[in-house]
Structure 1
Amino acid sequence: MAQTSCNNGETDQVLVEERGSVRTFILNRPKQLNALSFQMISRLAELFYASEEDSNVKMIILKGHGRAFCAGGDLSTPFHIIHQGNWQLGANYIRELYTLIYMIATYRKPQVSILNGIVMGAGAGVSIHGRFRVATEKSVFAMPETAMGLFPDKLPLLEQALVEVNTSDPDAISAIISHFSHIPKLKEGSPYHKMKIINHCFSRRTIEEIISTLESKALDKKDDWISSTIQLLKKASPTSLKITLRLIREGRLQGVDSCLVREYGIFCHVLRGEFNKDILEGFRAIIIEKDRNPKWDPSGVELVRDDDVDRYYTKIDDEDWEDLKLPPRSYLPPPHAIAKL
């Protein structure tokens, strides 16, 4: 087994294992739950590109070191600088991240993401767009309540089988993953059992209607999940909620490239803080002062008008700003596969 790594003067943040025709990229910031730094994003892009051009490489495995796959993007340093007025640094970070995500979404060779542990934010972005996603009994997607599967002690055997197959054939890879897969034993309190309620409530047209429908359900039936969901929605930035709902509704029928370009423009508006300062307020409340009591502006979803959301879709008024320009990619993979192990 050959192993190379990222040499950036710090502890190697991305490790690479070379085993036969398989390259395994290992996110290696366990103390930070493998949060993606700018250096990690750049290194991953370099590794993915080099492996795509290398005819000896048949498959990519992506995993994390420690108890997390990846807890998201490491925005602590950029946001400290954004707080001082340099929003372009945050924009550069998002540009590189979105470009990496697009490369993964259009990658010609199979990628197997082993989602063992915490998977949040950007961690989802660099994994769910790959061809295969493997969940384990330790997988935690966004919130601890969402256990994704059951699979004690079989990951090393799965990885060994993938290494030995020596092929890029998706059917062969899928068969190997299926061999090690089990139907998950869901806990009684799993949100999966709430799908009827989720579909009913979250199919409402607006955030206000979604919250109102959840509150009506809460009156009819005492349910901890419904109550906690209402509280989470009410604690979130009202503007962000409305932007997110629109992005989800618009993105369902659009390609990943269109979604990334649009979200990049909106993110730059958010970073600039020209319409409100919610991103800095959230950063203050969660990261800096940690009082977890942000003062959003506007303070309620009923105060956020459609016109307020529309402003985030406009062109950035800055002569140095450019739309996200994704590199030309000729390959669009078939639908993804997810295994629950």
Structure 2
Amino acid sequence: MQSFSKASSITRRCCRKNLQALTLCHRRLSSSLSQNQNVLNDYLDNQVLVEGKASSRMAILNRPSALNAINTSMGARLNKLYRSWEDNPDIGFVTMKGSGRAFCAGGDIVAVYNMMNQGMLEGCKEFFRTVYSFIYFLGTYLKPHVAILNGITMGGGAGVSIPSSFRIATGRTVFATPETLIGFHPDAGASFYLSHLPGHLGEYLALTGEKLNGAEMVACGLATHYTLSERLPLVEEQLGKLVTDDPSVIEACLQNYCDLVYPDQTSVLNRIGIVDKCFSLDSVEEIIDSLENEAARTNDAWCAATLRRLKESSPLSLKVTLKSIREGRVETFDQCLVREYRMTLHALSKQVSGDICEGVRARMVDRDLAPKWDPPSLEQVSKDMVDHYFSPLSESDSDLELPTKLREAFN
């Protein structure tokens, strides 16, 4: 009996020691997880930095190594910040800029590509929902918004800036919507703002993915102001001193410190006649035929370069994009975003084609610049294929929900 009591005592002491060890281990593990979570949160928060000014706030897109490409966490942080700033009566207006040599090169399409290859379609959908929702919020923002487009401004980067009240281009600005070159379609509101450009410039930019510089952006209305890059610190300094929520005061400030500029003679804006003649036609085939006729008649290098660009793009994407821009002309901003989201989910499903994965692979992952498009030619792209991208979503998916009853969309 005595040895049994002794054994029981030893067992209890061992249990207590094991329990203490387990408790200590759990505390250390919890502490480590908490520290890691804090580090992760700090890292994610640092992808969008904030600077406080006299009567304004500045959001700084801060992924310079990725040209400030927007990911899901950045979209979520922007949504949260902009909502809190709109509700804050001490904040009169908001400014956005990018770190490094880009404003924003677009959405992080390589991350989307990787998620697609890993079967994480819900993550892809969450990304587009988050970013499109922010774009709508920005487009209906109740306070003046200034976007400083100093550097690369492409795709989704244009999406998070073009709806702004003021858009400052510089000598370093490079604008483009190059989605057809990666087997996708211009999105993030592009079918709205491109379709409202002068003449048929929107079709040209959407189909070719060609670039505009800062002076060209001002001339066609994509930007509202222009400044030389070296004068930008002065412009930012003067904006930071303003204590106002009056757009006219911000406008006066920008007029005082920005520059007057015109596109040079080689600009596509000086070819608007030929752009309208060719890109107003009803189909991609007719556009290409018209450009080929012009090239044969005039021996114009611009026509030849435009044709090469079109022939590099996904045939399916070209047809889908042309239809999207044409529909954007008669839709409101929110209708364009909802339709683009639907088109995007159809592209992600790869039911018609996997061109988005092939295009990203060829241009941004393997970089062999040799995509194998499916279908490989315009002739093989049927009307049904194109129409599928504009059809209702399956029962398992929901349309993009925007707060149109609370925040009025614009035409």
The TM-score with structure 1 as length reference comes to 0.91
Q: Deviations over 1:85-137 (max 9, x none)?
A: 33222111111110010000000000000111110000000000111111111
Between the aligned partners of 1:176 and 1:234, the Cα distance in structure 2 is 45
Letter in 1 for 2:401: K
1:169-180 to 2 correspondence within 5 Å?
A: 169-180=246-257
1:247-258 to 2 correspondence within 5 Å?
A: 247-258=324-335
Unpaired segments ≥5 residues, structure 2: 1-39, 177-208, 216-225
Between the aligned partners of 2:344 and 2:75, the Cα distance in structure 1 is 18
Q: For 2:68, what is the secondary structure of its paired residue?
A: coil
Partner residue in 2 for 1:204: 281
Between the aligned partners of 1:249 and 1:184, the Cα distance in structure 2 is 31
Name the CA shift for 1:236/1:204 in 2 (closer, same or farther; >3 Å).
Answer: same
Q: Of 27, 39, 46, which aligns to 2:80? A: 46
CA shift, 1:305, in A, is 2.1
Partner residue in 1 for 2:43: 9
Letter in 2 for 1:19: K
Name the CA shift for 1:113/1:9 in 2 (closer, same or farther; >3 Å).
Answer: closer
Letter in 2 for 1:147: N
CA shift, 1:331, in A, is 4.6
Identity among equivalent positions (%) equals 40
Partner residue in 2 for 1:24: 58
Partner residue in 1 for 2:394: 317
CA shift, 1:188, in A, is 3.0
Question: Which structure is higher in helix share?
Answer: 2
Larger CA Rg, structure 1 vs 2: 2
Letter in 2 for 1:285: A
Partner residue in 1 for 2:347: 270
Partner residue in 2 for 1:339: none
Unpaired segments ≥5 residues, structure 1: 1-5, 336-341
Partner residue in 1 for 2:296: 219
Q: Deviations over 1:124-151 (max 9, x none)?
A: 0000011111111111101785222363
1:273-288 to 2 correspondence within 5 Å?
A: 273-288=350-365
CA shift, 1:9, in A, is 3.3
Is 1:166 aligned to 2:166, yes or no? no
Between the aligned partners of 1:122 and 1:72, the Cα distance in structure 2 is 4
CA shift, 1:12, in A, is 1.3
Partner residue in 1 for 2:95: 61
115-124 vs 249-258, which moves further: 249-258
Between the aligned partners of 2:363 and 2:65, the Cα distance in structure 1 is 18
Q: For 2:214, what is the secondary structure of its paired residue?
A: coil
Q: Of 212, 228, 234, which aligns to 1:146? A: 212
Letter in 1 for 2:103: F
- Preserved contact between residue 95 and residue 146 of structure 2 (Cα < 8 Å): yes
Q: For 2:273, what is the secondary structure of its paired residue?
A: helix
Between the aligned partners of 1:32 and 1:225, the Cα distance in structure 2 is 31
Between the aligned partners of 1:10 and 1:60, the Cα distance in structure 2 is 21
Q: For 2:70, what is the secondary structure of its paired residue?
A: coil
Coordinate RMSD, CA, aligned = 2.0
CA shift, 1:81, in A, is 2.2
Between the aligned partners of 2:247 and 2:227, the Cα distance in structure 1 is 22
Q: Of 67, 70, 76, which aligns to 1:33? A: 67
Between the aligned partners of 1:114 and 1:334, the Cα distance in structure 2 is 23
- Preserved contact between residue 316 and residue 375 of structure 2 (Cα < 8 Å): yes
Partner residue in 2 for 1:194: 271
Letter in 1 for 2:363: I
Partner residue in 2 for 1:120: 154
Aligned residues: 329
Partner residue in 2 for 1:3: none
Q: For 1:154, what is the secondary structure of its paired residue?
A: helix
The TM-score with structure 2 as length reference comes to 0.76
1:279-298 to 2 correspondence within 5 Å?
A: 279-298=356-375
CA shift, 1:234, in A, is 1.0
Name the CA shift for 1:8/1:222 in 2 (closer, same or farther; >3 Å).
Answer: farther
Between the aligned partners of 1:266 and 1:251, the Cα distance in structure 2 is 13
CA shift, 1:72, in A, is 0.6
